[in-house]
Amino acid sequence: METSPIIIEDDAKTTNPVVSIDLTHSPVSKPKQTVDDMVVDSPYYSVKRTVTSIGGTRVSTTQKIKKEEAEEGTDLCYSKAKKPRMLSENDAEYVDYVKKEVVDGSEGEPVCRDSLSTRELLESCARYVDSVKEVFDGFEPVIDAEPISVYKSEEIESKPLTGISSNTLRASLKQEGSLQKEYDTVIDHKPKSVKPEKMDYEEAEQSKPLTGISSNTLRAPIKAEGSVLEGSVKKEYDVMDQKPKLVKPISSVPPHSGYNGLGLNKKGSGYNGSGLSKKGERVVEDRKVSMEGIEIGDFEEEVDWLLVGRTAITGLSTTKGRKLEDNEIVHFAFPNGEVRSKSGYWANSRGGSAACGIVRFSTKRSGEIGRLPMEWSKCLIPLVNSKKVKVLGRCVAAPPNLSMMQEIMLYISFYIHHSIFTEDGNCSWKLDSPSNIDTTIYPLLTLFKLLKKSPFQKAEFTPEELDSRKRAVTLENDLNEAASVLPSAKGRKPLLIEPNKDAQVLTESSLNKLVGAADMYNLEEMDPPTTLTCDLRPYQKQALFWMTESEKGVDVEKAEETLHPCWAAYRICDERATAIYVNIFSGEATTKFPKATQMARGGILADAMGLGKTVMTISLILARPHKGIGENENELIEDNRSHERNISRRPQGGTLIVCPMALLSQWKDELETHSSPDSISVFVHYGGDRSTDPKVISEPTVVLTTYGVLSASYKSFGENSIFQKVDWYRVVLDEAHTIKSSRSQGAQAAFALSSYYRWCLTGTPLQNNLEDLYSLLCFLHVEPWCNWAWWNKLIQKPYDNGDKRGLKLVKAILRPLMLRRTKDTKDKEGRPILVLPPTDIQIIECEQSEAEHDFYDALFKRSKVQFDQFVAQGKVLHNYANILELLLRLRQCCNHPFLVMSRGDSQQFTDLNKLARRFLDNNLDSSAPNPSKAYIQEVVNDIKNGENTECPICLESADDPVLTPCAHRMCRECLLSSWRSLSHGLCPICRQDLRKTDLITCPSDSKFRVDVEKNWKESSKVLKLLECLDNIRKKGCGEKSIVFSQWTSFLDLLEIPLKRRNIGFLRFDGSLSQKNREKTLKEFSETTDKMVLLMSLKAGGVGLNLTAASNVFLLDPWWNPAVEEQAIMRIHRIGQKRTVCVRRFIVKDTVEERMQQVQARKQRMIAGALTDEEVRSARLEELKMLFR
Amino acid sequence: MANSNLPRRIIKETQRLLSEPAPGISASPSEDNMRYFNVMILGPTQSPYEGGVFKLELFLPEEYPMAAPKVRFLTKIYHPNIDKLGRICLDILKDKWSPALQIRTVLLSIQALLSAPNPDDPLSENIAKHWKSNEAEAVETAKEWTRLYASGA
């Protein structure tokens, strides 16, 4: 055995490093495979270390090394493959070169470190190194391999003992490869702020000491070429002399951190191992340990601490000449995190940050011995400082003489405190609040990784997986398709949609692709409660079953046995806890199996429109009408609010249903008609004289209110609002997409409701984008997705970046949470769950009359000229609104030319001479100073030439312009709104007093109406419609029709022929008050003579039931087919008894026909895959298409 | 957000103000509130304010253009129609407002007001009195103030 050239200060006998092993509690079961097996069977076994690289390559055995040594002699210390590796795992480390041979190694490129630099050098680079080091901390750790196995002594006894640095493996190429992969997450991983804590040295350790082999034979002095240290012993001393510089900062660590860190001059005294207990310490071997004060022995098993695992770690000596025995217990000193945070000075001071992140170890008798490698320090510091993790260790391979930077093999046991696991599964152990969720790897998880513990049950999603962009994931086709359904953030602006933000953008089929539909049709059916007075269809009974089970907390899909997707399961060494579960998102840990059901009680009932969500919900309420605490829920509720209840008894409410105002009466009616009398009480909390006493609304079984009332109340009273004061049994949000913007008052108010069960009813859980869903998940309290940071990081961002995994995750989240069926969903027998009369959809192509066509053509040419101008100037997208306006005119012209004429571009209304005459006549008897004739002539000429001047008030080209007697032109609306009185006011230009009657419309709306009445002429489209209506009337079977148009002005026009032909009709549009809407709808369903309902496409609102009609006429195509689809749904739904005839009217060879193409193209277009630029060009394409 | 629902008129006006500024006047909207403008008016030549650079603030109320903008001098100025708080006595800012007026016209009017003080319709009694009793001296004071407060700023 070579002795180190370093002079040993202490005259203690150098002990033979031959292994001393404690065997007592050896749990060896598998002789050589795992880390745990490092525990050896009997004392004095010699140990052969087999180091395995990540690839499973066994690297070295004693014997081989010996051989190599013989061959290469002193050169052994050189790396064979000189793979420079500037960033070794530790800064300023003395590096051993170890020659090793790959035994079965395919990947056996000898791996060595040859980065040598003086401590000083590295010291000066400390901060840099430190920063880079973070990268390495995320390594699939070095110790990843099973580092050591122990062989029977007979085998090896005779062989010289060799120690091999496990560090030799550290630079494996493979790891470098993995570095890239890990990079993203690792770089984020900063040590948490650590609390000051004294390392608890009193803990005895239960693990057995482990022998390591320390052999200096291979530990030749450094001679690496290019190295500052080049093999000189003297140099080494130099380095040591500089040592105080390095550790200086440490000395400022508050003394209770255990060490003052200055090992060099205070040897033996620097260690402040106060109260070191030796209970349970047993001297196993005293042949070698003859010295007083050597601390060896067992660590005692403790009730509170669970052994996670053990591993060998190679520490590095920071002192020279200290004594260290094999098997000697080492104590760890963890830096006090506060030192760093308290003063910026530290962070800035040289090496300060590096020093703070160092875990040092010492022995009781010698004081500081060395330090742990960085990647371990990084991980351990926050853990230990959290007081939830304990680390005990001993030296297993003590070099006979300690010299600087020498490797010291330690065997370390890790324990977690049982308190991190909570009993009831509501566990929480968070190192700190997950506000900084960039730390996607939590220390505990890192620890598992370092210990090479992989979960035996993996979490369904991992942050890394979702995070890493490098990992290409191939997914099923449907996901690829689905991704294309929603526009991405970049292309989120819907293509070519008229500026109507509320338009539903997703079609039903797209929605199905996105959120999945109806893979649950083999749900059990549940018989409705007797108090329900109507029959449920089978699929509704299934929904009742699903909802009931969801409320009971038993998921239909056996979520009971399903691991919550966010959790991973690990086995630890302690027998007392077979498995522990770690939430890979929040870092929470528990010993209780986290079931998928623990997520949320309630869910999203997202059946498509018309399947009867209301009735299903009513049956649920009747089946489980409990108020406040029910029998089953007792326990559950206890969990949740035992503490709350101790403080104050809040009123326990029943079911709160929040719905849009329009549906309030419908809910009330349905609740009352579908439940047997006296089974439930319904209270409507709406209107002027609302009570503010929570008791009032906590009494009835069901309370109905609107989003408006809820948010208004929340706005004024916040947490003290009447709704928030009640502990609801169940909250149901009808048309839950109302709260799709999570920051809105309404959404916030809904989130703040206290309830045991939460339900969202919506046919469109997603309307425009994925974020809509986030709000629902917030309301449902679905962890962790109701945390915006998580949602954004793992779903929204990947999704926006076109990463399909975002969507995959959404699907997985929704699977247990959402029930969605459509009318096409099939039941077990493959029959549709809902049999509705068929729909007969036809497109009626209209051909324009010659006159009509000429008019259209003229208008089109004019518009095209303008459009081409925009194109030529490259200003198409800047003039988007103008272009839409041009298109609007063209589309209106397809309906009826009159619609366009009212805008004043037709010959008929530009009879300007007449206009001028009228104008001059008007002025004759005016007392006001007349504008000069010349001026008037000029104005009239302007009008004649179609020069629409800018309105002086809105600065736009005047819309519905009027001429004042003083010959000023402006928008009528602008002028009138500038007046204080309705009938008169000043001219904004010349301040002349004007009467409203003096205004001359150029050309005027009123005139248009008169002319329309007088000169009524059907357009081809109107003619076709009238034909259709006539046919229906002739059939005489009392079919009713609904006529949709997007322009109320067109509905106005339609009234003329309907009246003339004595076709009774009703009118429903946005101008109707809520009361009149109900009245109109009621009248329509009951009447026998008003068979036609003129309806504006957008006024329908939500939830209308128009099943009285069976004919649908869509007179003009809308940009977005989904809106049309929705209109049809109003008629084609439960209760419809006839075949629904849908007729779309399209005028041939016009913009309408091309719009159809755009619609189709739009559905094909992979919006999600388009960049901003592409979307822009696509829009341009579409526009060009329209003007072709 | 103050800027999300900016009427097109304001946008248009702003664009025009920036692209074709009126001589001697600069007005630029604040970055965080497009209804708030930082204005600089050069003292008109041949007036006591010649050579001065006067800072004003201009705010377009919600009702604009149906209501007048709110304008105030930030630079101290000695003027019978401007008080020590910088408030301006100008009919078009009050009852004579017309929606056909614009930021530009308002600022031009204020510039004109500097050229033609109107001590008969005073806002600042003292200055108006001074102006009426001894115009030459008042003008001197105005020049002095211009030099003191409005130069080089």
| Token pair in block for residue A436 | 């900084």
Cis previous bond, B65, omega within 30: yes
Nearest to A328 by CA among A9, A22, A14: A22
Is position B31 within any domain? Answer: yes
Distance CA A171, CA A173 (A): 6
Instruction: Please give the C-alpha separations between residue A247 and each of A120, A266, A748, in angstroms, as whole numbers.
Output: 12, 12, 53
- Contact across the interface for B9 and A953, Cβ inside 8 Å: yes
Higher pLDDT, A374 or A1177: A374
**What CATH code is carried by the domain that includes residue B75?**
3.10.110.10
Number of domains in chain B: 1
Q: Are A1148 and A462 in contact (CB under 8 A)?
A: no
Is position B133 within any domain? Answer: yes
Provide the percentage of residues in chain A whose pLDDT is more than 70.
49
The residues near A290 (Cβ < 8 Å, ≥ 6 apart) are: A13
pLDDT tens-digit map of A539-556: 888 888 888 887 775 443
pLDDT (0 to 100) of residue A89: 39
pLDDT (0 to 100) of residue A458: 62
pLDDT (0 to 100) of residue A116: 37
E strands in A469-585 = 567-571, 579-583
Cis previous bond, A1003, omega within 30: yes
pLDDT band at B4 (very low <50, low <70, confident <90, very high): low
Is position B153 within any domain? Answer: no
pLDDT tens-digit map of A575-626: 666 667 776 666 666 666 655 544 557 888 888 777 788 888 999 988 887 7
Inform me whether the pLDDT recorded for A703 exceeds 60: yes
pLDDT (0 to 100) of residue B53: 92
Q: Are A270 and A364 in contact (CB under 8 A)?
A: no
Residue of B nearest to A980 (CA): B66
Eight-class DSSP state of A259:
B
pLDDT (0 to 100) of residue A20: 37
| A982 exposure class (CB count in 10 Å sphere: 0-12, 13-18, 19+) | exposed
Nearest to A571 by CA among A464, A681, A465, A454: A454
Which of A952, A956, A977 lies nearest to residue B100, judging by beta carbons?
A952
pLDDT (0 to 100) of residue A30: 39
pLDDT (0 to 100) of residue A535: 81
Residue B141 belongs to domain spanning: 6-148
pLDDT tens-digit map of A647-672: 456 788 889 999 887 678 778 888 88
- Contact across the interface for B65 and A989, Cβ inside 8 Å: no
pLDDT tens-digit map of A465-483: 444 333 333 333 333 333 3
pLDDT (0 to 100) of residue A909: 39
Q: Could you write out the DSSP letters of every residue in A799-823?
A: HHTT-HHHHHHHHHHHTTTEE---T
Strands ordered across the beta sheet of A589-590: A567-571, A579-583, A589-590
pLDDT tens-digit map of A789-812: 777 777 777 777 777 777 777 777
pLDDT (0 to 100) of residue B37: 92
- Contact across the interface for B100 and A953, Cβ inside 8 Å: yes
Q: Does B61 touch chain A (CB under 8 A)?
A: no
pLDDT tens-digit map of A827-859: 666 666 667 778 888 888 888 888 888 888 888
Higher pLDDT, A746 or A181: A746
Distance CA A1073, CA A973 (A): 23
Inform me whether the pLDDT recorded for A46 exceeds 50: no
Inform me whether the pLDDT recorded for A18 exceeds 60: no
Fill in the amino acid letter for A740. K
Q: Does B63 touch chain A (CB under 8 A)?
A: no
pLDDT (0 to 100) of residue A75: 40
Q: Could you write out the DSSP letters of every residue in A345-411?
A: HHHHSTTHHHHHT--EEEETTTEEEEE--HHHHHHHHHHHHTTSEEEEEEEEE--SS--TT-EEEEE
**Taking the CB of residue A33, how many other CB atoms lie within 10 A of it?**
11
Q: Are strands A367-371 and A389-397 parallel, antiparallel or unpaired?
A: unpaired
- CB half-sphere exposure, A1027, CA atoms < 13 A: 11
φ, ψ of residue A1103 to 5 degrees: the values are 70, 5
pLDDT tens-digit map of A115-155: 333 444 444 444 444 444 444 443 433 333 333 333 443 44
Distance CA A213, CA A165 (A): 10
Nearest to A1164 by CA among A1147, A1140, A1181: A1181
Mean pLDDT on A953-974: 78
Long-range CB pairs of A1006-1009, under 8 A, 24+ apart, other chains included: A1007/A909, A1008/A898, A1008/A901, A1008/A902, A1008/A909
**Taking the CB of residue A1072, how many other CB atoms lie within 10 A of it?**
16
Cis previous bond, A784, omega within 30: yes
Is position B48 within any domain? Answer: yes
User: Which residues of B are marked as active site?
Assistant: 89
pLDDT (0 to 100) of residue A999: 77
B8: alpha, beta or left? (left if phi > 0; alpha if psi -120 to 50): alpha
Provide the percentage of residues in chain A whose pLDDT is more than 90.
2
Q: B10, B66, B101: best mutation site toward chain A, by most A Cβ within 10 Å?
A: B66
Is position B1 within any domain? Answer: no
| A121 exposure class (CB count in 10 Å sphere: 0-12, 13-18, 19+) | middle
Q: Crossing angle for the helix pair A771-780 and A804-814, nearest 10 degrees?
A: 30
Average model confidence (pLDDT) across chain A:
63
Nearest Cα of chain B lies from the Cα of A969 at a distance, in angstroms, of 11
Is position B125 within any domain? Answer: yes
Higher pLDDT, A194 or A718: A718
Strand partners, B59: B36, B70
Q: Does B65 touch chain A (CB under 8 A)?
A: yes
Among A60-74, A381-395, A622-636, B74-88, the minimum mean pLDDT is found in A60-74
Distance CA B47, CA A136 (A): 74
Distance CA A1053, CA A547 (A): 49
Report angle CA A573, A361, A440 to the nearest 5 degrees.
Answer: 55
Is position B94 within any domain? Answer: yes
Mean pLDDT on A238-256: 37
Among A177-191, A533-547, A605-619, A715-729, the minimum mean pLDDT is found in A177-191
The residues near A487 (Cβ < 8 Å, ≥ 6 apart) are: A493, A494, A495, A505, A769, A1167, A1168, A1175
Among A867-876, A1166-1175, B61-70, the minimum mean pLDDT is found in A1166-1175
Q: Does A952 touch chain B (CB under 8 A)?
A: yes
Is position B41 within any domain? Answer: yes
Inform me whether the pLDDT recorded for A188 exceeds 80: no
Strand partners, A702: A655, A682
Highest mean pLDDT among A460-464, A507-511, A979-983: A979-983
Which of B7, B12, B99 lies nearest to residue A988, judging by beta carbons?
B99
